[in-house]
Homo-oligomer: A and B are copies of this chain.
Amino acid sequence: MQHADALADIATPAILLDRRRLEANCARMSARAASAGVRLRPHLKTAKSAAVAALATAGQFGGITVSTLAELAYFFEAGFTDLTYAVGIVPSKLPAIHRLLARGARIQVVVDSVQGVEAIAGRQAGQPPLRVLIEIDCGGHRAGVAPDSAALLDIARRIGAAPGLALEGVLTHAGHAYHAQDGQARTAIALQERDAALLAAQRLREAGFAVPVVSIGSTPTALTDIPLDGITEIRPGVYVFFDLSQARLGVCSTDDIAVSVLATVIGHQAGHLLVDAGALALSKDISANEYDAAIGYGLVCDEQGQLIDGLHVADVHQEHGFLKTAAGALPYARLPVGSRVRILPNHACMTVAPYRQYLVPDGAGGIEAWDKTGGW
């Protein structure tokens, strides 16, 4: 970590990270994992930062989840050696994984078809084992096999027959929880996620397979209070930062959101204020608009982080954002050209991805720069 300039000198756009909120969010998920009796393997595809990973794994067993080879290498170099790469594995990604295995990494990969197992089954015995999780579809219909399918057992048998592969367990992710319209629907999806994983594990065990890992997780489903007996780990990710989508889901409040995009007002027009944070700096994700159309590409706070009533990013071009109000006059006087705003993200995973660092005010006028990875 190195110190950046004072806040007023920072060239925009930049990501500000509120350490106190980050720590509170991490503590909340740790408490949930502890009370449910499961291990927490945070998904670092959101933060892509070793410093954030250190806070998210504090007091935990140290395993993490990643979604790219770049994250796998970055976190291994930062000392995280137990890594689940949670995107379906294909042969072109094995050389990078083999290199880390040879250096002592413990890596779990995921498959959801016999074809997928066969594509990676050519490894030689004697190499460090490649641990394989079978991905289960718990209702989101993105990836995975149905927990009650014949394919589940076929996949397990094919893994068992492959030298160098070791069946580690099952993994599922209730991505459809992001679209739950209320708390009741969210809890129903959490139950669906849990029960799909439990059913798959039970069927594999009945067929004679050991299933040490039964892994579930998304932030909205992890933060329900359903019992998790039989589940071994959860893999939520966006909770470290939260965002407007999570706030609209009722999983957090806007006061919990730990990241914001610092931007500068670069122009006053008749119908909008123009800022230097656009489609790349905010992403074009508009997921929070599923709940409230007056969010656009993000809600706007003043430089201190106080929401400005109704002000939102109504449109974006590559490096330009258009601030408008849902109703009422635009705050030209409050936000002169050159003044700063902070924009709360719709979907933190998307917004923070292109930045090279987080700027973390230390509370004493200084700012730490926390590095992060990106790309693939």
Contacts and interface: CB of A to CB of B under 8 A. Distances in A.
A280 B285 CA distance: 10
B88 A266 contact: yes
A267 interface: yes
A13 B268 CA distance: 39
Interface stretch (A162-170, A193-201, A302-310, A314-322): A314-322
A338 B11 contact: no
Task: Give the oligomeric copy count.
Answer: 2
A285 B279 contact: yes
Which of A175, A319, A336 gathers most chain B CB within 10 Å?
A: A319
A203 B165 CA distance: 75
Contact of A284 (B143, B271, B285, B318): B285
How many A residues are at the interface, by size bracket? Answer: 35 or more
Nearest to A112: B267
A269 B141 CA distance: 8
A269 B337 contact: no
Chain A interface mostly: loop
Interface string A3-17: 000001111111000
A166 B319 CA distance: 25
B93 A11 contact: yes
A293 interface: no
Contact of A9 (B95, B317, B322, B356): B95
Interface stretch (A27-35, A181-189, A347-355): A347-355
Nearest 8 A-B pairs (CB), nearest first?
Answer: A88-B266, A284-B284, A119-B338, A115-B337, A67-B319, A90-B264, A356-B375, A116-B337
